[in-house]
Amino acid sequence: MDLKEKVILEIKKIYDPEIPVNIYELGLIYDVSIINNDVKVKMTLTTPNCPVAESLPKEVKDSIKEIKEVNDVSLDLVWDPPWDKSMMSEAAKLELNL
């Protein structure tokens, strides 16, 4: 398993507290890139007023840092494009009966 797969598996362990689906399947992770074992994540939240706006990005970053091969993690919280339900995976839509 390569490092990107490990990072994605780690991200899939994190759930939005209000929606019973992990944040990766929800489509909140826009990009994961790795250069020389430095991980860069671009993510968003369901809304800028999200109650976990402070804690969720930190949880993502801290979880990725737990992977022994990772040197450093940078996380960009972005609002463009804004998240909407069409960004969810088919698995997430099935889970939520959408």
Please state the pTM of the whole predicted model: 0.92
Low-confidence ranges of the chain (pLDDT < 50): none
What is the structure's pLDDT at 40? Answer: 98
What is the structure's pLDDT at 52? Answer: 83
What is the structure's pLDDT at 50? Answer: 81
Q: Residue 4 has which token pair?
A: 């990107």
Q: Residue 11 has which token pair?
A: 């991200």
Which residue ranges form the domains of the chain, and what is each CATH number?
3-90 (3.30.300.130)
Tell me the per-residue pLDDT of 41-64, one tens digit each, with 9 for 90 and over.
999 998 888 888 889 999 999 999
